Amino acid sequence: MSGAVQRPVPDPTPSDAGSASITVRDAIAEIEIGNGPLNLVTRGLLRALDRILADLAGRDDVRCAILHGGEARAFSAGSDIREFAEIHRDASERKILSEDMVLRNLARLPMPTIAAIDGPALGGGLELALCCDLRVLRHDVRVGLPECRLGGLAGNGSVRLTRLVGPARAKEMLFTGMMIASGQALDWGVVNRVAVDCSALEEARRLAEEIARRGPVSNRLAKDLVASSLDDSLDGALSQATVAQQTIFDSLDLREGADAFLAKRTPVFRGR
């Protein structure tokens, strides 16, 4: 797909700051979140992001999506603490459930997703990144879930972090509110790559380009199977794998891949 299409999502209300925009080029979508220098996670930002996710979920021309924080100092420094006072007694209705829905929608996008983290990802910001399939972190950036320092809790992040790093490391991060540097984040498995000689976004673009060259039907099914391996019983996950394999053998992409291999040429996948 050539050319770029940008669809800005405006700030819903002056008092509910936050925006998001999407650019699609060559089968790769870039989602930029924006809310001041710290990219605070507000209701406005989440609503804008969710509208983009709803559209993106139905697109079969996108083979990989990158989430990034634009030119802000932080990928996202987390929730806007100023919101807490006004939602104290009805947080479930005004924050928790809606935020959880957006995080789930991000995690459920059918195509592979990458978080490009060029500034601190803390609290709700790291929770956004944890909902992506892969994370690329700039070498001099820290990440963490420091909610306990304020007496708070990263609910969604606690679960997703544990699945990445295991219970012992997740507990250490959650109980202390520690913010870990890029090397430790890579060693622990919080991130997949550390960008040393370029920005995280540049490295994420290279990774997205590699993913976009591969079979899109295969990658979407692989994403489903990895999720199934964590959520279902072994027998249930293996049954789903059998169905997925049949889908692949029925696809035109596999035929194209096999023909290209035998002809010693680059395959041209159509996503069918």
Task: Pick the catalytic residue from 32, 99, 147, 203.
Answer: 147
The HSE-up count of residue 168 (CA atoms within 13 Å, CB side) is 1
Q: Residue 16 gets which letter from DSSP?
A: B
Active site residue 202: no
Distance between CA 202 and CA 94 in Å, rounded? 36
Distance in angstroms (rounded) separating the CA atoms of residues 1 and 150: 46
User: By the 8 A CB rule, do 105 and 54 touch?
Assistant: yes
- The residue from 30, 32, 99, 127 that is catalytic is 127
Judge residue 198's burial from the number of C-beta atoms within 10 Å of its C-beta, 0-12 exposed, 13-18 middle, 19 or more buried: middle
Q: Is 127 assigned a catalytic role?
A: yes
Query: Kind of pairing, strands 121-122 and 179-180?
Result: unpaired
- Count other C-beta atoms under 10 Å from residue 30's C-beta: 23
**Active-site residue set:** 127, 147
